[in-house]
């Protein structure tokens, strides 16, 4: 008798759990729940303080972070400069795609390491200027100068499927950073 009673109460409890689950997972609740969960996750992610675990391609935290904090009152515009090699003789479509790779590559790196810089650049309209350099050596000099003063840099190495050899360094992204600081590195290069 007692065994029968415990078995039936366990079955009742199991049935109640099944009814609760069936009632709580309704299709009309799924999408709003998914959206709310996504928004909550984004808020948690954005509330994290930025760590300075920066890669070699990205910003070195020293000088630039100090200069950025001084100009954080919004009076300083931020911009990115894309430096395209002329010696590769890329056609306009190839240049456009390589510049897109440089800008999105830098954006992806800043999503990992420099979110506050990225947000400020977005608020300034994400200015991008395209200039040219003569060859790989000149691009290396510009990259070294940018790295030395702490500007973020990103170099695109082509996959070699179309116009240039695999591994060719096609475009260098410098910045985003304060306009005056970026100009101190790229200001003498001719516009594309």
pLDDT computed for residue 93 by the predictor: 94
- Tens of pLDDT along the chain (192 residues)? 544 555 566 677 776 666 655 665 666 666 777 777 777 676 666 655 543 333 334 344 444 554 554 344 455 899 999 999 999 999 999 999 999 999 999 999 999 998 999 999 999 999 999 999 999 999 999 999 999 999 999 999 999 999 999 999 999 999 999 999 999 999 999 999
* Same-domain status, 27 and 122: no
* Same-domain status, 75 and 115: yes
Beta bridge partners of 85: 133
Q: What is the CATH number of the domain that holds 150?
A: 3.40.1490.10
pLDDT computed for residue 18 by the predictor: 64
Sequence-distant (≥ 6) Cβ neighbours of residue 162 within 8 angstroms: 94
Would residue 54 count as lying in a domain? no
Backbone angles phi, psi at 189, to 5 degrees: -80, 140
* Same-domain status, 12 and 72: no
pLDDT computed for residue 52 by the predictor: 33
Backbone angles phi, psi at 148, to 5 degrees: -60, -40
Contact between 105 and 153 under an 8 Å Cβ cutoff? The reply is: no
* Same-domain status, 33 and 67: no
Name the token pair of 109. Answer: 């790196």
* Same-domain status, 170 and 103: yes
Beta strands in the chain (DSSP E): 78-85, 127-133, 153-157, 169-178
Would residue 117 count as lying in a domain? yes
Residue 24 is part of which domain span? 2-46
* Same-domain status, 42 and 70: no
* Same-domain status, 74 and 99: yes
* Same-domain status, 95 and 180: yes
pTM of the model: 0.65
Would residue 57 count as lying in a domain? no
* Same-domain status, 106 and 149: yes
Sequence-distant (≥ 6) Cβ neighbours of residue 135 within 8 angstroms: 85, 86, 87
Q: What is the domain count for the chain?
A: 2
pLDDT computed for residue 4 by the predictor: 52
* Same-domain status, 163 and 132: yes
């Amino acid at each position: 008798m007692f065994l029968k009673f415990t078995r039936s109460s366990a079955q009742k409890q199991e049935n109640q759990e099944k009814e609760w689950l069936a009632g709580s997972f309704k299709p009309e609740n799924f999408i709003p729940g998914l959206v709310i969960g996504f928004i909550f996750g984004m808020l948690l992610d954005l509330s994290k303080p930025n760590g300075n675990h920066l890669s070699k391609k990205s910003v070195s935290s020293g000088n630039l972070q100090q200069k950025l904090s001084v100009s954080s009152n919004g009076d300083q515009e931020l911009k990115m400069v894309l430096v395209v090699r002329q010696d590769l003789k890329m056609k306009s479509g190839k240049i456009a795609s390589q510049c897109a790779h440089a800008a999105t590559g830098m954006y992806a790196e800043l999503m990992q390491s420099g979110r506050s810089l990225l947000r400020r650049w977005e608020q300034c309209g994400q200015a991008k200027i395209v200039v040219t350099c003569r060859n790989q050596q000149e691009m290396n000099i510009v990259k070294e100068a940018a790295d030395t003063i702490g500007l973020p840099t990103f170099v695109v190495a082509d996959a070699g499927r179309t116009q240039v050899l695999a591994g060719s360094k096609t475009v260098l992204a410098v910045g985003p950073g304060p306009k005056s600081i970026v100009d101190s590195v790229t200001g003498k290069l001719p516009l594309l």
